[in-house]
Structure 1
Amino acid sequence: MAQQAIIIDGHIDVPYRLHDSWVDVSSATAGGDFDYPRAKAGGLNAPFMSIYVPASLDNSAQSTQLAHTLIDSVEAIVYRAPEKFAIATSAAQVKRQFEQGLISLPMGMENGSPIQGDMQNLQVFYDRGIRYITLAHSQANHISDSSYDLRRKWKGLSPFGQKLITEMNNIGMLIDISHVSDDAFYQVIELTNTPVIASHSSLRHFTPGFERNMSDEMLTKLGNNGGIVMINFGSGFVTKEARQWRDGLSKFTQRIITEKGKDSDAAATAEQTYRAEHPYPYSSLAEVLDHIDYVVKLIGVEHVGIGSDFDGVGDTLPTGLKDVSAYPNLVQGLLDRDYSQQDIELILGKNFLRVWQQVEDYAAEH
């Protein structure tokens, strides 16, 4: 079924990976989680290329410059291999290119920092092909608070961020609430006239206290809004054991730095030492499926999708879901849990296409 259905992945960090260390992903690559042969093997048709801008560049011209550079890199992938890839800027284009046997490369901007408080930049990035914006990343920016940032600068959205929601609705830009604080999420839901997405988030039910994931109350609001949560595969998003391992590593590293100094050999090898004594508790395909099951039972199968975070979560991917060739494992897991073909097609891509079409339709009317 993976080869017959449209598979849309809401978040894959290929552009930043190539910016860091260039390889030709139109051919097989030794590292990373994505390349053309593996994508074809997995049945992946439309991976959203993440135009990721680190929070360290917020409030700088470099932020906007990097976003344009990463968009250029996606265009370059298509330019070098037009028989394999094509940019996609609409739901209809994804469907058309699927029929042509091409892998669509839609783009989403992770961190709204490059907007720089200028609505004209929203139009510029829309014109360049960006179709969703993750409002913030690891720190509050000029748009929104982040779930990772304890300062809560805006207590949700900034005044500019509130105006941006309306403009995103009107232009046909999907609103991505992954990474934002709970207050920002609820404010977005109140302001938006279109369904929203969580492009790569999982569920707080399985990771208590991890605000980056979504609570049951948030999921209920998301369902009422008509939006979708796209499940992140990273083990730290999937199980509390992986989160606790990360907390343990942080405490161990801090203790070594305090005792030996931050420039010591012991500090440099702290993670290797910790890993040797405490092997990383990779989550499993079954545990990823548990997240999908939970959404389906709480708000319905129409509100869940896939947002793997491939090439973005490093060496934390679950057993059975290590790269983009592994979607058939996910499909088989859903079949084994008695999901119908129709429901599996919704999860793999049709739910996202429905939301995207609704956002496009609203913009066409406004």
Structure 2
Amino acid sequence: MKKILSISATFALSVLCASNVAAITVSDKANKLAQENIIIDSHIDVPYRLEKNWVDVTNATPDGDFDYPRAKQGGLNAPFMSIYIPASLDNSANSTKLADKLIDYVEAIVGRAPHKFAIATSSADVQQQFEKGLISLPLGMENGSPIQGDLANLKHFYDRGIRYITLAHSMANHISDSSYDLRRKWKGLSPFGKELVKEMNNLGILVDISHVSDAAFYQAIEISQTPVIASHSSLRVFTPGFERNMDDAMIKALGENGGVVQINFGSTFVTKRANAWSKNRSAEQKKAAEKFGKDSDEFKAYVTKFNKENPLPYATLDSVLDHIDHVVELIGIDHVGIGSDYDGVGDSLPTDLKDVSTYPNLIQGLLDRGYSDNDIIKILAGNFIRVWKANEEYAAKH
């Protein structure tokens, strides 16, 4: 009987601890900071979500991480819509077609609800639309594949509203090596990639070094005449060996460049444990796919069973705050922001940061760690706007 009671007490304690992890008491001050200031999240994958399954995000949706009511609840008013192009479309005209199609989707969102949303093509647009109570939808291209080695395409996408380009994604493309691609085709940037960075500077398109290899990062930093961004990256010190994240030397170089790292919220990006879980799952799924075939019922059953028996160890709000703290400790408060990857990292978001309604939780966490109101305003948008304006000012002269 004593043993049964002990097990029951342990279970009750575990439930209490789990509820404590999820229960964030948000102060009026945190909510006020969220509602009265611009929040730029530099990477939200709504357009590709709509490509897979169209839903009307101008109203509440039953799934996904973003829609208008939740954005308003969280105070989000300037989410960069990610024009994500899968690496499988590299070296194909279909990459350019898809990019235009995804931009069409964003324009359709605004067309459905011009009283709620507006396209933003400048930092001034964001400020003006914020004052009107509109949610700005600036555009960033994730994977430069649609440029197709032609600077005329760069100008085309600038004219369509693209204001940053993530040079590569999960494989090397015609611009840059990828952190995920071990072949290191270019040993950094390609000759065209180096030319592209210069022309991006001239047009006022921010250079985004998320996803690229370390060598490509340093070459982009050296070539760019303007501050660069990491639109949705976290820190390698917390995920050793994960090149997709930035190490301390890169963070310091980014600071010297005047740039900003926008912290990715995905659990596998922010904790060593979740990152190891992800690598193990990928390895196990690869073996199962080779054994059963990726499209087989046996493979699908295996994946379901594996996920049930090996649940993802979710990161927490504190995990994300640790990344912000580390950037601030290394290079100061002026170089960190938010690049959540909502609608892009699936069911891997941390406890208390599950969708765009939860920015007040992040703000509360920053307040609890002693950040001032001005510091928080910089993290929410000020730092990114500074970099964006620096790129606009350079382009205006060139």
Please confirm whether the aligned pair reaches a TM-score higher than 0.5, indicating the same fold. yes
| Distance change >3 Å, CA 64–CA 254, structure 1 → 2 | closer
Query: Aligned pair 1:303/2:324, yes or no?
Result: no
Question: Once the two structures are aligned, what percentage of the paired residues are identical?
Answer: 70
Letter of the 1:316 partner, please give it: S
| Distance change >3 Å, CA 21–CA 259, structure 1 → 2 | closer
- 1:264 is displaced (CA, Å) by 5.4
Which of 265, 268, 275 is the matching residue for 1:243? 275
Q: Which residue is 2:358 aligned to?
A: 326
| Distance change >3 Å, CA 261–CA 350, structure 1 → 2 | closer
Q: Which residue is 1:357 aligned to?
A: 389
Matches within 5 A, 1:220-231: 220-231=252-263
- 1:277 is displaced (CA, Å) by 1.9
Distance 1:55 1:261 in 2: 22
> 1:79-138, CA deviations, whole angstroms, 9 ceiling, x for partnerless residues?
110000000000011011111100000000000000000001111100010000000001
- 1:251 is displaced (CA, Å) by 3.1
More deviation, 269-278/218-227: 269-278
Q: Which residue is 1:193 aligned to?
A: 225
More deviation, 264-273/239-248: 264-273
Q: Secondary structure at the match of 1:318?
A: coil
When the two structures are superposed, what TM-score results if normalisation uses the length of structure 1? 0.98
Q: Which residue is 1:63 aligned to?
A: 95
- 1:253 is displaced (CA, Å) by 2.8
Which of 347, 352, 372 is the matching residue for 1:340? 372
- 1:272 is displaced (CA, Å) by 1.8
Which of 305, 309, 312 is the matching residue for 1:273? 305
> 1:25-64, CA deviations, whole angstroms, 9 ceiling, x for partnerless residues?
0000001000000000000010000001111111111110
More deviation, 254-263/334-343: 254-263
Q: Secondary structure at the match of 1:205?
A: helix
Divergent runs of 4+, >3 A: 254-266
When the two structures are superposed, what TM-score results if normalisation uses the length of structure 2? 0.90
Q: Which residue is 1:148 aligned to?
A: 180
Distance 2:126 2:170 in 1: 30
Distance 1:243 1:83 in 2: 41
- 1:258 is displaced (CA, Å) by 5.5
Distance 2:391 2:172 in 1: 26
| Cα-Cα RMSD | 1.1
Structure 2 unaligned residues grouped into runs of 5+: 1-32
Distance 2:135 2:200 in 1: 26
Query: Aligned pair 1:184/2:216, yes or no?
Result: yes
Letter of the 2:248 partner, please give it: D
Distance 1:259 1:61 in 2: 34
Report the structure number with the largest CA radius of gyration: 2
Q: Which residue is 1:294 aligned to?
A: 326
| Distance change >3 Å, CA 79–CA 338, structure 1 → 2 | same
| Distance change >3 Å, CA 124–CA 255, structure 1 → 2 | closer
Q: Which residue is 1:136 aligned to?
A: 168
Q: Secondary structure at the match of 2:256?
A: helix
